[in-house]
A = this chain, B = another copy of it.
Amino acid sequence: MVKKAACMGFGIVGTGVAEMLAAGKVCLRTESEEIPVELKYILDVREFPDHPLGDKVIHDIDIILNDPEVYVVTECIGGKTIAYDFVKRCLKAGKHVCTCNKEMIADRGLELLALAKENNVMLLFEASVGGGIPLLRPLRTCLDGNDFIEIRGIINGTTNYILNEMLTKGTAFADALAEAQALGYAEKNPAADVEGIDACRKICILADLAYGFNVPTEIVSTEGITNITVEDTKAAASLGYAVKLLGRTLRGEDGKVYAYVAPHFVPNSNVLAGINGVMNAVSIIGDYVNEVVLAGPGAGRRPTASAVVGDIIDTVRLADGKAYPSWGEFRPEEWGDIDNLKSRRYVAFKGNASVPAQGEFDGVSYVITDSIDNKALSALFEGAEIIASYRILD
């Protein structure tokens, strides 16, 4: 049976979510049926007359609240004023809500989750931390048997980009910030990013979930990157470290839960030191799992929409009790023969190939080919003896 969705907020992420819904990409597939979720409304204060989805735009939240067909509502408005009010009203109206709003969840999550439960609906927020990276759900499902020793991560891409520019190009903080703004990585008012406020909200949500109690943002020590100098990044590099803004929450030796945001010297041998540009990465250390690292795009229209949509599909799965993993019978018509799969290849060979050798190792010639299939590979080396052949990962 088809479900209907309404999108609140048609900004960067909201556009991505609405597009995925409109493209028919939001669908719970079970062994016996498909349950598609279709876009019914887009709520925004603005008009979008030239947008292909412009005819879905409405301005009155009551249309959503009063439409019994609306099964799930996404919230990509941001902030904790209008968004908070609208989400409360949706939950009270018995609508499931999926949000990417870290500020609202960090500051009002405790209350809103209780309200969702009271009204027997889901409030999911995977996209609020780490953008497209699967993070909150794995933490509370796959890793749920662990006592969490620590969660540490690069959870703000803007600051990570700026720090990387400072380190690799010697650009001063102010110039690197201006560059990030020009590229659209930083907002005109960059305070939430560069002062660590965004990272603070995210580490609070991780701490809430990992340790089971509400950590108010205002008690979390939060230091941004505004005081970091190029000299500091150079000193760090000479000593074998990268300077990274980390959010950390951990169980201290005293048994207490700590959470804070601050720039750190991270040893180059640590995987977090190698996370550059706008990438995010979070390391979760548990008493049984040891350490897992989840990395990917921490922001952006399509990755963040991917996470919101994952929540929509999971809402259908969980609320409708169709939680079984499954797949269907083999489909020969969809299966590809490996001989047809093209790759660039490294080929070491003796004798005469139809391509000139590009060099040799230990007296054996080699070639790195264009992207070719196995038939073309055989043809190229028909007159030669292949000593070694490897596909190259692009």
A residues bordering B, Cβ < 8 Å? 16, 20, 25-26, 28-29, 31, 109-110, 113-114, 116-117, 122-126, 132-138, 140-147, 152, 208-209, 211-216, 219, 221, 227, 229, 231-232, 234-236, 238-239, 241, 243-244, 246, 252-258, 260, 262-267, 270-272, 274, 286-297, 300, 302-303, 305-307, 309-310, 312-314, 317-319, 321, 323-331, 334-336, 338, 340-342, 346, 348, 361-362, 364, 366, 368, 388, 390-393
CB contact between A330 and one of B146, B216, B317, B338 (< 8 Å): that residue = B216
Bound-state Cα–Cα, A253 to B110, Å: 47
* Pair A295/B296 contact, Cβ less than 8 Å: no
16 A–B pairs (Cβ distance < 8 Å), ordered by A:
A25-B288, A26-B145, A113-B324, A122-B324, A138-B138, A142-B307, A145-B312, A211-B327, A211-B334, A213-B328, A235-B366, A265-B346, A266-B392, A289-B302, A289-B307, A290-B297
- Work out how many copies of this chain go into the complex: 2
* Pair B290/A335 contact, Cβ less than 8 Å: no
Q: In the complex, given contacts A113-B326, A137-B142, A319-B323, what are 20 additional A-B residue pairs having Cβ atoms less than 8 angstroms apart?
A: A113-B325, A123-B324, A123-B325, A134-B138, A142-B307, A143-B310, A144-B314, A213-B334, A214-B329, A216-B330, A235-B348, A254-B336, A257-B336, A258-B341, A266-B392, A267-B393, A274-B274, A287-B302, A289-B302, A290-B302
Bound-state Cα–Cα, A321 to B122, Å: 11
CB contact between A361 and one of B227, B238, B310 (< 8 Å): that residue = B238
- Closest chain-B Cβ to A373's Cβ sits at a distance in Å of 10
Bound-state Cα–Cα, A147 to B126, Å: 19
Interface centre among A243, A256, A336 (most CB of B within 10 A): A336
* Pair A122/B323 contact, Cβ less than 8 Å: yes
* Closest A-B pairs by Cβ, 7 of them: A256-B336, A292-B296, A134-B138, A145-B309, A134-B142, A288-B306, A289-B306
